Structure 1
Amino acid sequence: MEPEPDAVLKEGETLGDWTIREKLGQGSYGAVYTVVNKKGELYAMKTESVKSYNKVLKAEYYVLSELKRVKAQHFCAIIDSGLIGETKYLVMTLVGLTLTELRKYNPAAKVHKFSLGCALSVGIKCLEAIQEIHSVGYLHRDIKPSNYAIGRIEVRQIYLLDFGMCRKYKDNSSNIRNPRSFAAFRGTVRYAPLSCHVAREQCRKDDLESWLYQQVELTTGRLPWKNMKDRDDVGKCKKLCRQKEYVKELLGGCPREYLAILRLIDSLRYYSDPDYARICDYLREAIRNNNVSEYPYDWEMLNEKTAAE
């Protein structure tokens, strides 16, 4: 689906104080650009037509504003926002490569995965980001490697992106909203939690489940259902991987602490308050037990190797 024409800009065009440098991507909501200000500083700009049915930009603005209020560490800063003509825009931090891109960063690698120390350290930061968004009353509902990115300059910084699927799980009195009897599928099939496959309302546990699938993929380079096309088949495979005789299909090649994390996440219910610290402790235990280092990250090593050549 093409974006509304009013929300598409060309290189060299200006919008307020911002000049368009390059289009980074587009969707049904509008587009994303690299923009530059009068000082020559680079940022990202998201645009959306006022005619757009899905008010993605509004959601993004509210979520990022709430995260700024609590001084969250893993999210882009809002630099500017406004409406010019028929185009709404939001200017924010320009990030670097996504975890999906970084996982495939070394073309010589036979398996696209991170080293264990890198995967565990990145996993902790990704989990911290989920805890931060939950702390302001929102579920992300589309946790996956392409929605995490490193900093453009600070290559050890991890950002959580894209709030188009977000939903408030708390009401204005900070009470957890009661679940709907039916909830349409939200998210990306490969990383979606079991709840999505049975049309159940998502909760904090479900973001953590998606995070664990991502974590397994970053660690081993694979997920058992990677090549399955049918959504129901993927759901059945995820469920089967919980059984004792099949759990190695999911967690084979992972530190043993991942099984403890899976059991912890699966024990949570709709109203449960997840023990994020315990999950982080498991990851730190895995770092110690496997005698691996968090730093430097894999992409730092590759950059050094390229520079040396």
Structure 2
Amino acid sequence: YLGILAAFTAMLPAVAGAAVANTVTDPTEYFLTCLHLLVNVGMACKDLFGATKAVATARAMAERVVGLLDALEGSTAPAAVAATGDYTAAVQLASLAVGAPGAAPLLSNLNLFLAHGDRLLVRGPNGAGKSSLLRTLTGIWPPAAGQALISVPTDQVLVLPQRAYMPLDATLKEALLYPDTKADASWSTSDETLSEALAWAGLEQLVPAGCTPSAAPLSAGLSGGEQQRLAAARLYLHKPQLALLDEPTANCEPSFASLLFGLCKERGTTLITISHELRLADLHTHELVLDGEGSYKLHGLQ
């Protein structure tokens, strides 16, 4: 815009001459009108370019979804998650191989037994299969081979992705109780309990003075750390038997990680945590280290 202004300043004599020729009585007003129109054109072009980028992004996302659906439709792999009658195990993986549908497995022959209350930390380099394992356990991808057996009821499993979902135009109550809706029993949760969860997560400042979580709007400007804290507050409220966590405290200070995993230990929540943070090892009972070449090492921590 400074360039536009400089160009118009240089053209001022010509503009003034044109104004006189067109019987415009005030050359300055004519100049400012032209400048205003040109700025509006520039802003419109900027919006147009932005919309073009958004459309391209949406198209790329749609193509990925279509590709995934096509791959799943042609897959003959067994169901990703099956119930098991062995209720001594919260999670049991038998000769499991994981990877994108139709692609070579990133991790093979994984055998794992997690009792109720065990807390597993999964580490490894990028591309080793950590996210693929999580997608398989959540049923997004089928296993390339083997089975994932989970004895915990589906409504007692909570997934916290690395980028916490924040509903649009929602109240704090709707954000805290997600993925539950008004049709679920949890919707009767009192404002007192919701405020307790916010205070536990260090987010009480999100409720304006004189307001309640049921009426307070969810701020669109939450930082990455605040979003992860709010997602952790969902775990506080839902009290799941099994939680699948992907970098749940990457944007939070170490003290909050101790608070979150301390709560899970106190409640006996079974955990599978994906993280690059070595300091989280002390907060888990087992560690699964992927080497990035399809193999792994599993050992106890406590």
TM-score tier (shorter): under 0.3
Q: TM-score, normalised by structure 1?
A: 0.23
* Greater Rg by CA: 2
Which structure has more helix as a fraction of its residues? 2
Q: Which has the higher contact order (CA 8 A, sep 6+)?
A: 2
Q: TM-score, normalised by structure 2?
A: 0.24
